[in-house]
Amino acid sequence: MYLTSEKKQELFAQYGKSATDTGSAEGQIALFTFRINHLTEHLKQNKKDHSTRRSLIRLVGKRRSLLDYLMRKDIERYRSIIKELNLRK
């Protein structure tokens, strides 16, 4: 499995407030970004995997809505997470 609980804790510790703070917007965005990158690599090899493509599109939408929420609530946190994860926009 590509996403172990240790990897999740590492992501939440690095981008969230703590390793156990799984609900912060930054932690969720980092987790979604990790999953999006993994699915993108999978789809480069398996072009006809439409169920995975649908899952990827849903994840991108979830991440976008979290980023929009963060931009409305605290623009500095939004700018820092965009810079850390090298996201466009």
CA atoms within 13 A on the CB side of 72: 5
Sequence spans of domains, the chain: 25-85
The string of pLDDT tens digits covering residues 7-39 is 999 999 999 888 888 889 999 999 999 999 999
What is the pTM for the complete model shown? 0.91
Mention every residue, 6+ apart, whose C-beta is less than 8 A from residue 60. Answer: 36
CA torsion through residues 55, 61, 64, 65, sign: negative
DSSP state letter for 18: S
- Measured between its terminal Cα atoms, the distance across the chain in Å is 31
Q: Which helix (H) or strand (E) holds 87?
A: none
For 25-85, which CATH class? mainly alpha
The string of pLDDT tens digits covering residues 46-59 is 999 999 999 999 99
